[in-house]
Amino acid sequence: MTRKVLAPAIIVLLVGSGAAQAAQTCYKDDAGRISDRRRPGSIEVPCPPPPANPSNAVPGATTTPQLSPEFVGVGPAEEPIPPTPSAVPPPNLIDTQVAVPDRWRIVDNLDLGYPRNYFNPYGRNVLKGDKPLHDDWFFALNAFADSVYELRDVATSVGSSSSRRAGQNDVFGHPRQNFFSETVATEFVYYKGDTVFKPPEYEFRFTPVFNFNYLSAGELQEVNIDPERGTSRSDHHVGIQAAFVDKHLRNVSDRFDFDSLRVGIQPFSSDFRGFVFQDDQPGVRLFGTRDNNILQYNIAYFRRLTKDTNSGLNDVAHAPRHDDVIAANLYWQDMPSPGFTSQWTVLYDHDREKSSRYYNTNGELERPAPLGMERGRDYDVVYVGYNGDGHFGRWNLTSSIYFAGGRESSGTFTARSDQVRAWFGALELSRDFDWIRPKLSVLYGSGDRNPYDRKATGFDAIAENPQFAGADSSYWIRQGVPLIGGGGVTLSQRDAVLNDLRAGNNAQSNFTNPGILLFGLGVDVDLLPTLRFSFNANDLSMPQPQVIEVARAQAGVPHHIGEDLSAAIIYRPLMSQNIVLRASYARLVTGGGFDALFPHGDPNYFLLNLLLAY
């Protein structure tokens, strides 16, 4: 009878004890800490169970949960004891814990609303280097299509051995030309390493470029020296604009300042705007950063390749030129004030093409230049320059100054050696007023006053590509102007601003030239995030036209070339560089210097350009 009474009593006590424990209520704050006291913002939760076998537990006693003394405000100031975690996580955590092969593919499990295809520029895919191809090796595929159409007026001579029109005996012919060019570039990049905070460990880059171009001119011997080729020409070329290996040598700080070595055909620019040397040439370059990327340096050596005549691309099938360039520069960010970068650069051009004779694919002589004595030269010229780019508050400033010094084995008009002493300077000042940016531009390249002395004081670059004063929207910068009657050279080259009297893409530098002086006003107007208007007006002069007078055997050539007026519209429908449509028109309102050399008339050109990028 006693056992029958005690057994139910024990069961009731045990059940009551368990119910009391289960009914006990605790509170969890925003930091996840549990207490038996209610605090502002806390929520009710079941108290955690007691330890299974506490070492100091008394049989039959009730155990309370371990609470943080700092939270409840009691106990000594010691390390808080975390609450005992539940043995089984909540069901919602079990469902979301899915293993991924690496951290780059975590985003694949999130629905970001972007279509997952290879043609969306914002979608993630392996062809853009968004995630590794294998291990920590990435692959990136880039493709570009650049379509250009030009309707232009260019000073044109009547064919020297044949004329298109019977009875035509004038020096100057019909100037109108039609030009079309289609350039397709593909870029393959294979690299190793996470490049978010540091450069890749290895990088292999290969960029073949395919070009087709067509030219229709108004006179014979404009498209080719052979008059039987007619007045139109179709040409194509495949060039290799990049083919290099990049090796990360070392990190020199915990902020990933580094040293790297790059070998092969690679792009290089001596300054911010491409005034002296901007090209893709084979070479060796050591580069890196210091002081948390505030200082950046380059030390490079290049052996220049021959350029294809009509496309301007590298011609790797032709032997390289005997022209070596050694360059070193240093970039210093936030110098002299935050937002402005200063750069010091030194270039050495070592040319040994005195005995070289080169005819381009159109049959025209480029080296030595058909000007003056028409003889090759060897020269050693050093360029020392300072360049700055950035802003001071709302004022934007780009500045450049160079001195070129050295010696050439003979002059353009004399057989004696010349000392090279030439100067160059450029400045662009602008200010942002919301969606309008007005600009002031000044550029000066020294000229040679006396072609017969032993000093060559006309400034010339190694390979210029100026992004300045309207760039290729400008008539004078975009179009080459032949010096008809003064030799087979151009007064200024295509895509160049200097009046250097060169014969083409593969001609030597010429330091006996009339120089250039440019004053420009311009404005960029961003009407929409996708639409920009650009206007530029440049006044052009020759500081020293005496060289032109000697070449043309014509006295009294004025300094003033004229006013170059241009307007451009740029439309980016995707608000990115994937699709860019550009149209521009330029007219040269000629001055006395141009009219003295060419028939009176204001040459103009219209350009239509479509750029597609993947």
Question: What are the two backbone dihedrals, phi and then psi, of residue 228, each rounded to the nearest 5 degrees?
Answer: -70, -15
Confidence of residue 600 (pLDDT cuts 50, 70, 90): confident
pTM listed for this prediction? 0.81
Question: What are the two backbone dihedrals, phi and then psi, of residue 91, each rounded to the nearest 5 degrees?
Answer: -60, -35
Instruction: Please tell me the distance from the alpha carbon of residue 470 to that of residue 326, in angstroms, as a whole number.
Output: 30
Residue 464 makes CB contacts below 8 A (sequence gap 6+) with: 274, 275, 276, 277, 278, 496, 497, 498
Percent of the chain with pLDDT over 90: 68
Identity of residue 51: P
Query: Beta strands 137-153 and 604-613: pairing type?
Result: antiparallel
Average pLDDT over residues 396-402: 97
What pLDDT does 3 receive? 44
Residue 542 makes CB contacts below 8 A (sequence gap 6+) with: 447, 499, 514, 515, 516, 517, 548, 557, 559, 561, 593
What pLDDT does 30 receive? 62
User: Are the CB atoms for 492 and 594 separated by under 8 Å?
Assistant: no
Q: Is the pLDDT of residue 84 over 90?
A: no
Model pLDDT for residues 286-315, shown as the tens digit of each residue: 999 999 999 999 999 999 999 999 999 999
CA dihedral sign, ordered 505, 511, 515, 521: positive
Total Cβ atoms within 10 A of residue 598: 21
What pLDDT does 164 receive? 66
Identity of residue 178: N
What pLDDT does 134 receive? 85
Q: Is the pLDDT of residue 12 over 50?
A: no
Count Cβ atoms within 10 A of the Cβ of residue 175 and give its class: 0-12 exposed, 13-18 middle, 19 or more buried. middle
Greater confidence (331 vs 112) lies with 331
Identity of residue 348: Y
Percent of the chain with pLDDT over 70: 80
Average pLDDT over residues 450-478: 95
Confidence of residue 599 (pLDDT cuts 50, 70, 90): confident
Q: Is the pLDDT of residue 32 over 50?
A: yes
Residues 336, 340, 344, 347, Cα dihedral to 10°: -170
- Helix (H) / strand (E) element for 198: namely none
Average pLDDT over residues 588-596: 95
Instruction: Please tell me the distance from the alpha carbon of residue 212 to that of residue 147, in angstroms, as a whole number.
Output: 10
Total Cβ atoms within 10 A of residue 291: 12
Identity of residue 471: A
Instruction: Please tell me the distance from the alpha carbon of residue 91 to that of residue 193, in angstroms, as a whole number.
Output: 37
User: Are the CB atoms for 36 and 83 separated by under 8 Å?
Assistant: no
Task: Name which of 298, 390, 291 is nearest 335 in CA terms.
Answer: 390
Averaged pLDDT score across all residues of the chain: 86
Q: Is the pLDDT of residue 259 over 70?
A: yes
Model pLDDT for residues 409-434, shown as the tens digit of each residue: 999 999 999 999 999 999 999 999 99
Confidence of residue 199 (pLDDT cuts 50, 70, 90): confident
Residue 73 makes CB contacts below 8 A (sequence gap 6+) with: none
Instruction: Please tell me the distance from the alpha carbon of residue 79 to that of residue 314, in angstroms, as a whole number.
Output: 70
User: Are the CB atoms for 307 and 505 separated by under 8 Å?
Assistant: yes
Greater confidence (45 vs 71) lies with 45
- Helix (H) / strand (E) element for 478: namely helix 475-478
Confidence of residue 161 (pLDDT cuts 50, 70, 90): low
